[in-house]
């Protein structure tokens, strides 16, 4: 009888779950770098667009885009915060600007983490 290890829980302490991302890119270091670079560029833009939303529908759409991008690379903190804001809005709760501020901090943590990874490329996983 072969015992299997339980599946590893997502790394929610790190701004980016590199184990998740490596699986997403099948270990291809070039694709990993490309995706991290895209997220580094686009996440702040998505956040800015979200902050400038003029309707709840627009805010919801932009939250969804940011949440999806975060989920793709394993930015679980961003995904979790965006999901929580979506749920609060769906429940009819008024938008609390602090929610967006907290989301912005979490996005910035991910951006800084990516910058640190790129500066010390030896820590990047993949082939």
Q: Is residue 1 part of a domain?
A: no
- Whole-prediction pTM value? 0.85
User: Given this model, what pLDDT does residue 5 score?
Assistant: 34
Residue 3 within any structural domain of the chain: no
Query: Domain holding 74: CATH number?
Result: 1.20.120.160
**Count: domains in the chain:** 1
- Domain around 70: 28-119
Distance of alpha carbon 3 from alpha carbon 6, whole angstroms: 9
Q: How far is CA 11 from CA 15, 44, 84, 96, 99, in A?
A: 8, 22, 19, 28, 22
Q: Does 104 fall in a domain?
A: yes
Residue 43 resides in a domain: yes
| Mean pLDDT for back-to-back runs of 10 residues, the chain (127 residues) | 38 84 93 96 97 94 96 97 96 95 98 93 65
The answer to the question of residue 22 being in a domain is no
Residues with Cβ within 8 Å of 54's Cβ and at least 6 positions away in sequence, in order, are none
């Amino acid at each position: 009888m072969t015992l299997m290890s339980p599946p590893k829980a997502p790394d929610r302490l790190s701004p980016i779950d590199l184990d998740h991302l490596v699986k997403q890119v099948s270990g291809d270091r070039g694709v990993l770098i490309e995706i991290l670079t895209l997220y580094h560029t686009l996440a702040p833009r998505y956040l800015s667009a979200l902050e400038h939303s003029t309707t709840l529908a627009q805010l919801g759409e932009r939250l969804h885009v940011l949440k999806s991008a975060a989920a793709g690379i394993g930015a679980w903190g961003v995904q979790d915060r965006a999901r929580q804001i979506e749920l609060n809005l769906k429940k009819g709760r008024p938008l609390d600007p602090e929610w967006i501020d907290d989301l912005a901090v979490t996005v910035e943590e991910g951006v800084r983490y990516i910058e640190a990874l790129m500066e010390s490329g030896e820590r990047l996983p993949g082939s």
